[in-house]
Structure 1
Amino acid sequence: MSFTTARSRWSDVWLVTAARGISSCGDFLAASALTLTLQSAGAGGLAVSGLLLAATLPLVALAPLTGRLADRVDSRTLLVVVGLAQAGICLALAHTPQPALVILLVGLLAAGLAVTQPVLAALVPAMVRPTDLPRASALQQSAGTLGVLAGPALAGVLVGGFGVRLPLLIDAASYLALVGAGLLIRTRRGGRRSVTTSGVGSGGTAPVWRLRRDPLLLATVVGVAGVIGAVGAINVVEVFFIRETLHSTTTMYGLVTGCWTLGVLAGAWIFARVAGRLRGDAALAGGNLALLGGCCLAVLASAAVPSAALLVPIWLAGGICNGGDNVFGNVLLARRVPEAARGRAFAVYVGAVQGASMVGYLAGGFLLELLAPRPLVAAAGVAGLIAVAVLAVPLAKAARAERDGRVPVGGGAEAPAPEERAEAARVPDAGLATPTPGR
């Protein structure tokens, strides 16, 4: 799958990690600030779901285009240009009082994210050996999770003390980290440039890859999207559940929301070691769906709590499952998709997930006009568990067909050599301890 055979370039991994952590913090700081501002101003569920849709629709609609951009245009050019554009949009957003214009600018920010997400996701496997991929994936999850963890908590404090403008200005500054990473990262891909990892290039014509030709990966993507679509209403309902049903403050909302993301951080490292030990892709795909089921169980359990404080252990457990699911999905995509098509593959995956999220946002917004938050939280958990049970069937069929040899690995698109897959399945010798700078 065109991993490097030389030493992994950890300096590049750390640059991507830092950029992702800082920009994620800024993104969720701004998103939480805008959500809290809407809720505090008396806006209903439709207003919150509309904001979430504006931040999601470009990720879905632009996925076919941005995935190809990530594979065909130099990664450094994309990161620098898009990062500067996003910083400018955030500055405009901080000085825009009109709701309609706010929604438009949020949509433009999401369009930039639709470009940078597949660029960064496709770069990471090009930086490391197969044995180091689970560890590198866990680092990326850790960075994003720390950003998500800090963003809502900071939003709760800053909105209460300074209003919405300061969080948006901080978000604008966070995009400069993305620009800096784009200039400093030595590994590059896209355009006429061959991927260079630790001085090793891999050129050649881009292989033909289609998701539908890989039944196991197709079943995984459909499964993840289906479950997220079923349980996704929780993203709209949670602010009303915590703030109104459980009568918590904006600061408590940020802290409780951070508990889930703290669990994601822990889960990324716990399940990175598990991913390294799983030799079969079918096991990765099955584990991916099972962990999503764990997330749904946590949502269902949270509907019974009488106070926000009791959400802490439940959402920590759900976040751990979420972190493992993210790592399993990233490793599975990197194992099965040819290097030159990974930008498109990650864009397709993100587009499917975000499209399913939009279904949840719409459902949550409309249902909040009819029902109280608590029963909606319970309904979201039940719907997610039903989706897991239903979607496990096609996944099991695809795994069985591949195991019996009726379908080639990856649908026949540049199947990796046996020795490369064996190397990718082994646990990294260096272990998966808590990362430290410069490692």
Structure 2
Amino acid sequence: MSFTSGPSRWPDVWLATAARGVSTFGDFLAASTLTLALQSAGAGGLAVSGLLLAATLPLVALAPLTGRLADRVDSRVLLVAAGLAQTGVCLALAHAGHPGLVIVLVGLLATGLAVTQPVLSALVPAMVRAEDLPRASALNQSAGTLGTLAGPALAGLLVGGFGTRPPLLVAAGTYLALVAAGLLIRTRRGGRRSAPAVAVGAAAAPPAWRLRHDPLLLAMVASVAGVFGAVGAINVIEVFFIRETLGSSTTVYGLVTGAWTLGVLAGAWLFAPVARRLHRDGTMVRASLAMLGACCLMVLASAAVPTALPLVPIWLVGGVFNGGTNVFNNVLLARRVPEAARGRAFAVFGAGIQGAAMVGFLAGGLLLEAAEPRPLVAGCGLAGLLAVAAVSLPLRRAARAVPQPPAPGAASGAPASDAGSGVPASGGASDGPGSGAASADAGLATPTTAR
């Protein structure tokens, strides 16, 4: 594993954090605007699920390509090019009227996200020392969470007062933050500049990392994806549950969905110190699954509320556990994947979550044609809990197979081994987010699942 060999580059961390926060705000502002526009126009669950599928498919289908781009092409080039492209696409989206054109443009917008997600996720570990990674990860996730929090809230206000075009124009401007970050961040990966970040004595060629060669990471990805596939329909159902079943306005919808993301922000900071103290990767992945179960329990509890107001504390608690899960997953990926392959690893993890979420999106659209939102919300929570129970045994077996790690101090500035995993950094396959987010952060109860 390789982090920076000198002091942590916190100015670069803050630039990456700001870029992620602003661009994530744009992502969720656009997604929430279009979701509310569809629901307000009388569109059904299939239309909303189709929109979410268009915003998710590129993240899954292009993951093998975008992960390799993040590892092999200069990060500055990728951030600048993708940021400019997303700005242009969102400007076109603000003036698009035909539903088919909107779906195509949403897919193109998500293609840019499929590039920038692994680039930013892989850059952060290269900026800091191993012991500073939980704090840097929490900062990065917090920025994404703030963007996720502000986007739906502002969308509810702007759509209610001005229609869909103004929020989409604002969203277009947010992607310029990626351009600025690409030009200003001094830490760079990919291309000729990736060599200094790789451990001394490592081969020049990228390690032959494969997810299937690391049983613990494979179990983690399969478990998280399984839970998200089971509970993911909530992303389609929630707008109908809040707006129609509970009779809330677009503004209340934005504020209620923001409660979950506010909890994610709090959870990132509450659990970052815990992640720093957990040197056993097996313990960390088991704790992550337990927190996913708590998230699903909160979804189940939300089905019983009579009005939208009680959803706020319930989803706030669910978001706290979601934030802890995101931090643990991001730290685990950075610990167990070699530096030169991190872009691919984050892309693969994100694709696994998004692919499972697509199943939930499709199921949510179909189920809304046959049932009312309230029992479907309860069904999502119950399905998620059953999925946690189903994957807990294989995950526990994979966690027990992880060898005892060395002393915590062994990882500080030393590329030879990983204090969190107990496997050699040169092993390629076995060492090395959201919320996202996007790092590989994941959010259970807001539009576009992976952050």
Work out the CA distance in 2 between the residues paired with 1:404 and 1:7: 28
RMSD: 1.9
Amino acid at match of 1:56: T
Q: Is the 8 A contact 1:229 1:359 kept in 2?
A: yes
TM-score by length of 2: 0.89
Distance 1:404-1:150 versus aligned 2 partners, 3 A rule? closer
Task: Give the corresponding residue for 1:152.
Answer: 152
Q: Distance in 1 between matches of 2:379 and 2:204?
A: 50
Amino acid at match of 2:98: Q
1:247 and 1:196 map into 2 onto residues whose CA distance is: 57
2:281–2:421 Cα contact (<8 Å) kept: no
Return the letter of the residue paired with 2:151.
G
**Equivalent residue, structure 1, for 2:50:** 50
**CA deviations over 1:249-286 (Å, ceiling 9, x no partner):** 00000000000000000000001111001010001111
CA contact (8 A) 1:297 1:381 kept: yes
Structure 1 SS opposite 2:276 = helix
The one-letter amino acid paired with 1:80 is V
Q: Distance in 2 between matches of 1:423 and 1:59?
A: 31
Q: Answer whether contact 1:95 1:165 (CA < 8 A) is retained.
A: yes
Q: Give the secondary structure class of the aligned counterpart of 1:258.
A: helix
Partners of 1:31 and 1:196 in 2: CA distance? 38
* Shift, 1:417, TM fit: 3.7
Question: Contact between 1:2 and 1:202, CA under 8 Å: does it hold in 2?
Answer: no
Which residue identity lines up with residue 305 of structure 1 in the other structure?
V
**Is the 8 Å Cα contact of residues 195 and 202 (structure 1) preserved in structure 2?**
no
Query: Is the contact made by 1:189 and 1:196 (CA closer than 8 Å) also made in structure 2?
Result: no
CA apart distance, 1:76: 0.3
Q: Which residue of 2 aligns with 1:316?
A: 316
Question: For the Cα contact (< 8 Å) 2:280–2:421, is it kept in 1?
Answer: no
| Whole-Å separation in 2 of the counterparts to 1:224 and 1:419 | 23
Structure 1 residues 419 and 73: CA distance shift in structure 2, 3 A: closer
Contact 1:23–1:174 at 8 Å: present in 2 too?
yes
Whether the 8 Å CA contact 1:268–1:327 is kept in 2: the answer is yes
1:396-407 equivalences in 2 (<5 Å): 396-403=396-403
The letter for the 1-side match of 2:133 is L
Q: Which runs of 5+ in 1 are unaligned?
A: 406-414, 425-439
Change (3 A) 1:52 1:303: same
Cα contact 2:3–2:415 (8 A) shared by 1 = no
Q: Is the 8 Å Cα contact of residues 67 and 343 (structure 1) preserved in structure 2? A: yes
Percent identity between the two aligned chains: 74
List gaps (5 residues or longer) in structure 2. 406-413, 424-451
Residue aligned with 1:307, SS: coil
SS where residue 230 of structure 2 aligns? helix
Q: In structure 2, what residue type is equivalent to 1:211?
A: L
* Distance apart, 1:394 and its partner CA: 1.1
Number of the residue aligned with 2:252: 252
Displacement, 1:423?
12
Task: Please say if 1:84 is aligned against 2:75.
Answer: no
TM superposition shift of 1:201: 12
What are the residue-to-residue correspondences of 1:135-284 with 2, within 5 Å?
135-194=135-194, 204-284=204-284
Separation (CA, whole Å) in 2 of partners of 1:345 and 1:196: 20
Aligned residue type for 1:89: V
C-alpha contact (below 8 Å) 1:196/1:202 kept by paired residues: no
Report the Cα distance in structure 2 between the residues aligned to 1:112 and 1:258, rounded to whole angstroms: 24
Structure 2 counterpart SS, 1:306: coil
Name the residue aligned to 2:440. none
Provide closer, same or farther for how the CA distance between residues 364 and 421 of structure 1 changes in structure 2, counting only shifts above 3 A. Answer: closer
3-state DSSP of counterpart to 2:191:
coil
The secondary structure found in structure 1 opposite 2:192 is coil
Q: Distance in 2 between matches of 1:144 and 1:336?
A: 23
Q: Which residue of 1 aligns with 2:378?
A: 378
SS in 2 for 1:305: coil
Distance 1:46 1:341 in 2: 37
Deviations 1:105-139 (CA, angstroms, capped at 9, x unpaired): 00000011000000000000000000000000000
Q: Verify the 8 A CA contact 1:3 1:130 in the aligned structure 2.
A: yes
Partner of 1:125: 125
Give the corresponding residue for 1:336: 336
1:187, 1:195 within 8 Å by CA — same for their partners in 2? no
Q: Size of the alignment, in residue pairs?
A: 413
**CA separation in 1, counterparts of 2:418 and 2:31?**
45
Q: How far has the Cα of 1:59 moved from its partner?
A: 0.2
Is the 1:83–1:179 contact (alpha carbons within 8 Å) kept by the matching residues of 2?
yes
Q: Contact 1:77/1:182 (CA < 8 Å) preserved in 2?
A: yes
Match of 2:111 in 1: 111
Tell me the distance in 1 between the aligned counterparts of 2:188 and 2:264.
Answer: 28
- Structure 1 match to 2:289: 289
1:193 aligns to what SS in structure 2?
helix
User: Take 1:12 and 1:5, find their aligned partners in 2: how far apart are those partners?
Assistant: 15
> Could you tell me how far apart the structure 2 residues matched to 1:191 and 1:418 are?
25
Q: Report the residue type matching 1:40 in the other structure.
A: S
Which residue identity does 2:316 align to in structure 1? L
Counterpart position of 1:434:
none
C-alpha separation in 2, matches of 1:34 and 1:74: 33
Contact kept? 1:126, 1:195, Cα under 8 Å: no
Alignment check: 8 A CA contact 2:291 2:321 kept = yes
One-letter code aligned to 2:361:
Y
- Aligned-partner SS, 1:28: helix
Q: Deviations over 1:341-371 (max 9, x none)?
A: 0000000000000000000000000000000
The alpha-carbon distance between structure 1 residues 373 and 49, as it changes in their structure 2 partners (threshold 3 A), is same
Question: What is the TM-score of this pair, normalised by structure 1?
Answer: 0.91
**CA positional deviation for 1:196:** 5.2
Partner Cα separation in structure 2 for residue 224 and residue 194 of structure 1? 30
Structure 1 outlier segments of 4+, above 3 Å = 200-203, 415-424
